Structure 1
Amino acid sequence: MKKNKIFFAILTLCLIFSCGKDDDVNQEPNLEEQLVGKWNLEQQFYTSSNNEFYPSTCFKNNYALEFTSPENVTETFCRNNGVTGFQVTTLNYSYSVIDYTNDPNVKVLRIFSQSGGYNGGMLQKRYFIRSIDENNLELELFFLSDEFLTQGSANLEDNEKLTLKLSKQ
């Protein structure tokens, strides 16, 4: 009888210590890791209208975001230089992914530069990350701040918010 009690005590201890959390628990992918790579514009439209909008065909054919690390992003786009028209421009920014203050389940992509704005001023953009998977990224631009533009910094009006659909190269 004594041997049986010892056997059951050892068996009970083995069961207690062998049961634990599974190491194979599905973890949410890290957004910064998902963003790494080059994302090309597929479609852009004003969020409220769903009507496609591009400042130029140059813009539609050349817009891209390239996330090279968890802190750096390069934006390629066409800028009207006022003299010869639209030309492809590349600017480097820092970025971070943050929780939206009104809803921590919504993620915000904050892109900023001390000298990336109009005439070299500070520029900041904030996008809602609407969706992301390994090949598709949907962003909604809701905040744009450029210290040298006359309108200054502001949350964009609903009719000015832009949705960008990008695909990974």
Structure 2
Amino acid sequence: MDRDYETLRVEDRGEGLLLLTLNRPEVANAMNTQMGRDLLAFFDEVNAAPGQQRCIVMTGAGDKAFCAGGDLKERLGMSDETWAAQHLLFERMIRAFIGCPVPVIGAINGAAYAGGCELALCCDFLYASETARFALTEVTLGIMPGAGGTQNLPRAVGERRAKE
């Protein structure tokens, strides 16, 4: 993994372990279009070389958030067509993430809201700090989670707990 990413840090820790850090701490690691592109490229690269990596640990830069969800400032400036293209990009990225043959451990170090919660739910295992918080906050605005959160959350924690 020798590729540079604009919004990610990838560290090879040896013996097949990669540390993947969402690297936009100034905006609580909010996902913008570039982060979607970077995550898609990262998972496409891992998926194209099965057996090269043994484990990925995914975390967020800083101590404020794992990922606060979508970058709302970017979204406000988008046309409907641009937003639709971004949504398709994120769908492709989530499919590449879920299809990853390498176990992904989410090291959740703060807020995992909206799309950030959905990213966490894609991980095979979660390790949450005492400050970790999970929420599909978009539902309070009448917006459906776009990456399967309404299905993945009950599968991960059970239906009753998900309703909390």
User: Structure 1 length normalisation: TM-score?
Assistant: 0.25
User: Structure 2 length normalisation: TM-score?
Assistant: 0.25
Task: Mark the structure with the bigger radius of gyration.
Answer: 1
